[in-house]
Structure 1
């Protein structure tokens, strides 16, 4: 073989190497992804949580598409430097078989893949490191942001000598997608002591659940009860809305600032059997702490609401005694297991002295969001109806003030009635299951959104009314407009 042939072979080998790298890069390049995500208001599982609230940096790097297209154009221009015959010659060179071994003579492809494989392992090492750092941060309730992901990635890249890795905005975006990571609003704050005590809290939760499960053998499902106080603002405003993409400030309107800072209290009760138990207890806020005679005369009467009041709109030990006498005793079996939280007003043993068959067990402090059925699931479902009513009044500019005393009573009565429907039995049992008291899932169930606000009809079905629908009754399944539901007091 003369010198010219050797040079030609070396040139061909170089060309083959370059072509192989081009083909490999094209095959392994990332594909375009286009996603559209719509989040409607009042998702049934996350009523109090802002879902999919993403940071600006979650948008795809605007230079990514341009850079990739430029890369492909460069490769296309490079290929145009060679004739078809020459490229066929290159392929034949690659396919040349050794007569002795019956294998290809050239092994350059394996070397290239070996190089790329080593680099890929480094990428995987960076990925694992960043995810470990993220997991550690969230396990300790520490905040983490896109900049932190990038910082951790660059630190690891430097450590393993991957100098050409930049941890671009696109890499951060794809990392979050691969691990189902999104930006979320912090909805609960705990002290560092509470965070450090998380293991102890887990032990308390497990022990309490085990103890209650042992007690359940002594009670029928309808005898096992959970009650909880729920503070509500006089005006519940929606925390989410459809609006224009890119809007810097999303503004909502309320009727009164005073109404969103002053509250009233309701106290529902549910059973392990999946039923709403008794009337609901309602404590209104009154400046004097009591109802005047004229107010009493004009008070809205609802059979499923026991109404009281205080200066703050909150309960105290005396009002809890009133709840026990007028709600609990008339509505529950003689023998019962009452599960309630560690609030001071519940702790007075004299409250329960009138019922020797009632055994009260106290949920450990700082655990109600995990093991109190009302907190875990039921209350969010109930409040979603209330919010829908406030939203409709505001959106349609109805001349109704839901902050007024009688309208509050009427609203709570209607909501309590809707939640008491048999269609929600499995929903209530799921609240107990999600809290850990039941081993077996209660089976499929419909949420408030499914039952009341997935409206198929376009008009109200009451007395040939042609108004737009507001709600589908959980009892009779009629589709009703706001007037026929609220003003006409559609109670069951």
Structure 2
């Protein structure tokens, strides 16, 4: 515990150093109000068990001018697809389709020897077409999450990495975007695309505040666990979002 007299003396020294031209005169009502507030802070510090609370929140980096031309990638971008007992990456299938659009099938067979017949090629085109639809849904998820992030930021509501993941998973579910898990890879690219950074917010709190917050967090985890078990039992149209 600190010594109040020492704090007042040090405060007085800092005040003279910070405001050397400020001279004493008759206290105004505003001076009395400010003094009352300062003494209230001192009382809080001396009667509570103080702690420092740190929280990692997200914000926009206003000063970063690096290139943000990242593509919106799915969690499964690195996965391969099995077509006709052959394994292909999405990039390879996309190249095959692009080439087939401007060349005869005989040329496609010579360039891509794994393709034996037109049926095989049609299946590859179908995969690429389906992935294109998925890409559009990913872009809608991306924009929706960004809109909610910006709205929370304007309102001064702290938002964290897990909040972005939950928002993305919820939007993907609403759009029937299958196998989307909002991985760390997706989150990293989302933050890079939109110039979002993590900031550590440090503030002074009392022990009672910390105890209450820990209880709230514990209850939140219980609620989220129950929600995750219950929501899948209902249709999306029957679930009310009350954020």
Q: TM-score range by the shorter chain?
A: 0.3 to 0.5
Computing the radius of gyration from Cα coordinates, the structure with the larger value is 1
Report 1 or 2 for greater relative contact order, CA contacts < 8 Å, sequence distance ≥ 6: 2
Structure (1 or 2) with the greater helix fraction: 2
Instruction: Output the TM-score relative to the length of structure 2.
Output: 0.37
